[in-house]
Amino acid sequence: MKHWTTACPDWEIRIVQGRSLIPCDPLFEDEAEAALAVFKSLRVVDLPGQPTFGEVGEQWVFDFVAAIFGAYDAKTARRLIREFLLLISKKNGKSTISAGIMITALIRNWRHEAELLVLAPTLEVANNVFGPASAMVRYDDELSTLLHVQDHLRVIKHRVTGAELKVIAADAETVGGKKAAFVLVEELWMFGKRANAAAMLREAVGGLVSRPEGFVIYLTTHSDERPAGVFKDKLDYFRGVRDGTIEDNAALGVLYEWPPAMIEAEAYLDPDNFYITNPNIGRSVEVDWLIRELAKEQVGEGDGIQIFLAKHLNVEIGNRQRRDRWAGVEFWPSRADARITLDHMLDVCEVIVPGLDGGGLDDLFGLSLVGRHKETRDWLAWSRAWCHEGVLERRKKIAPLLRDFEKAGDLVIVDDELADISEIVGLIETIKDAGLLGPVAVDPAGLGEMIEALDEIGVTQEAGLLVGAPQGYAMMNAIKTAERKLANGTLRHAGQAMMDWCVSNIKIEPTATAIRATKQTAGDAKIDPAMALFNAVTVMIRNPQATGSGLEDYLDSLLGAA
């Protein structure tokens, strides 16, 4: 029995020192050497002089190839490490490397009539792989005799075994019925934006069940938006394997990403550090080009800086990359407190103010609770949202992200019975029954049905328990107060991924005398739970008292302010 581990808990030290991120030697050296002999002989046709991989490749590439093919046990015809992920910045030769790996697999494969599959999210990406793969064959007389290129089908066929390497664009062709022994998935981050991607990938890799010699390789850069769907799932899993928190020695992740401390310090902006996620720097990646392009994006407008950081420096997009972001986003990650739940707030708060926003069938219906701690008087925030199932169909781009929030328990997806209102009212009633309810702050627009439902539990304007929160530029005080309290640590939140996303979607529009919060992108960039938070802050600013414990004083203060 062989013993090995694919965990690499010291990856942060390794990546800074420029060492290999693969923690174990090839399990079968003879298989690794045989595959490397093939791989290194393949020509990179689009480079001057058409050199071979062996002449221009970096050691990290050879280590990765050796790990893949060196995991095959020829005696049992089984591959012991079967699933791989390579996360790397753009322009590090990813598509060309993937072409070389699959041509090597086609040549090394022994199974007659085997199917090898490259699954790409778009036709353009498919051509980016098929182009260099077919060129490797055409510009090598020996390979041209062994392999037959069929351009119109994007197929390369082995003339002896009958095995076929197929490059498929997922937006134009189906993967149904495929029985591939070797699968390579290009640009996994793009599949993360597709609602049906999980089922598609499951179908694509289904053939490996009966082909133990096979492998599946996921290649990707970081997403230009927050990781979602299958991309997030795979990224989290391979990080867990790498860090040793998930034990799976049949999976190996090679992740060229930034150590958390370097992200926090924004060390990715220093050209001296560009090598961290660009192991091909000095070859296919030029430092001077990166410096110039980064400088352009830093003075430009729009989301160019976010896309540049994700693609060329492999920075995972979170909250802090946009120039027109809400200032509170800078402090949002550090104010997360996993202890904060509704039950915790009921235990430690002297008053809880619910804020509501949204509610249209194309929006999220956001509820944010802001409680005042009975001892420290710090503000604690917890949120939940609801959306109609039709949003998943109309907003397919964010459907995988919404499903992630649903799995986390932060989002409830409702059907035509629209149970959102009854659930929200139930939560507010729980707070009221505990004697902790402050006035409910709402965006007055479009809440007729909610107002009627709240009336049934005694939450009305007449009772002083329903307040219309100022909107637009009039909300500036709440926005500024929230960001100041985040900065000084007296506002903490539950650390929910949904709220991380919502606050990062806020776009601040300044004028000469005020600011207002809007969506970063119309339609897809939902901010309703964040706006619900600001609504609650408009009331909490006034130092409210809970029902049954000084409500009269609170009403008197409102009358005095008026």
Close Cβ partners of 3 (under 8 Å, ≥ 6 residues apart): none
What pLDDT does 550 receive? 41
Tally Cβ neighbours within 10 Å of residue 52.
17
DSSP result, 419-439:
THHHHHHHHHHHHHHTT-B-P
The length of the chain, given as a count of residues: 562
Side-chain-side CA neighbours of 467 within 13 Å: the count stands at 25
- As given in the structure block, the two tokens for residue 83 are 């699933």
CB-based contact 119:83 (threshold 8 Å): no
- As given in the structure block, the two tokens for residue 230 are 């299958």
The one-character DSSP state at 43 is: B
What is the Cα–Cα distance from 114 to 165, expressed in whole angstroms? 9
**DSSP helix/strand/coil, 249:** coil
Q: What is the pLDDT tens value at each position of the chain, 562 positions in all?
A: 678 999 999 999 999 999 999 999 999 999 999 999 999 999 999 999 999 999 999 999 999 999 999 999 999 999 999 999 999 999 999 999 999 999 999 999 999 999 999 999 999 999 999 999 999 999 999 999 999 999 999 999 999 999 999 999 886 556 666 788 999 999 999 999 888 888 888 888 888 888 999 999 999 999 988 888 999 999 999 999 999 999 999 999 999 999 999 988 889 999 999 999 999 998 889 999 999 999 988 876 556 888 899 999 999 986 545 556 788 988 999 999 999 999 999 999 999 999 999 867 788 999 999 999 999 999 999 999 999 999 988 888 889 999 999 999 999 999 888 889 999 999 999 999 999 999 999 987 766 788 889 999 999 999 989 998 888 888 899 999 999 999 999 999 999 999 999 998 888 887 656 677 776 555 677 999 999 999 999 999 999 998 754 444 444 554 555 4
pTM: 0.78
Q: Which residues pair with 482 in a beta bridge?
A: none
What pLDDT does 560 receive? 54
Asked: is 328-561 a CATH 3.40.50.1000 domain? The reply is no
Q: Is 467 left (phi over 0), alpha (psi -120 to 50) or beta?
A: beta
Dihedral sign, Cα of residue 348, residue 408, residue 412, residue 334 = positive
What is the Cα–Cα distance from 423 to 44, expressed in whole angstroms? 60
Would you state the CATH architecture of domain 11-261? Answer: 3-Layer(aba) Sandwich (3.40)
CB-based contact 294:308 (threshold 8 Å): yes
What pLDDT does 549 receive? 44
**DSSP helix/strand/coil, 52:** strand
Secondary structure of 169-236 in HEC code, one letter for each residue:
ECCCCCCCCCCCCEEEEECHHHHCCCCCHHHHHHHHCHHHHHCCCCEEEEEECCCCCCCCHHHHHHHH
User: What are the residue ranges spanned by the domains of the chain?
Assistant: 11-261, 328-561
Q: Tell me the backbone φ, ψ of residue 255, rounded to 5 degrees.
A: -115, 105
Q: What is the separation, in whole angstroms, between the first and last Cα of the chain?
A: 80
In degrees, rounded to 5, the angle at the alpha carbon of residue 12 between the alpha carbons of residues 7 and 17 is: 115
What pLDDT does 562 receive? 46
What pLDDT does 554 receive? 45
The one-character DSSP state at 285 is: B
